């Protein structure tokens, strides 16, 4: 898990498999997740911060 300022993002595919991440942290509250090598589909990005967990659904369309 990659960590910056206690934020721990993880990416999962539609089957629930964790996707290896290439993350570029731009600033304390901004980062870029590189999904260009992944196929089109639905992905879930989970952000863990302190005791909170937020999951967002992302549609990857090329």
pTM, two decimal places: 0.75
Give all strands (DSSP E) within 1-62, no chain letters: 7-13, 18-19, 23-27, 30-33, 41-49, 52-60
- Residue boundaries of the structural domains of the chain: 7-60
Nearest to 35, CA basis, from 54, 17, 22, 48: 22
From first to last of its 62 residues, the chain has per-residue pLDDT tens of 444 556 778 999 999 999 987 777 766 667 788 888 899 999 999 988 888 899 999 999 98
Q: How many Å apart are CA 5 and CA 8, to the nearest integer?
A: 9
pLDDT value at residue 31: 78
């Amino acid at each position: 898990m990659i960590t910056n300022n206690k934020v721990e993002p993880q990416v999962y595919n539609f089957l629930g498999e964790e996707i290896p991440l290439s993350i570029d942290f731009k600033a304390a509250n901004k980062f870029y997740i590189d999904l260009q090598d992944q196929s089109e589909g639905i992905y879930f990005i989970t952000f863990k911060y302190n005791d909170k967990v937020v999951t967002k659904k992302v549609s990857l369309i090329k």
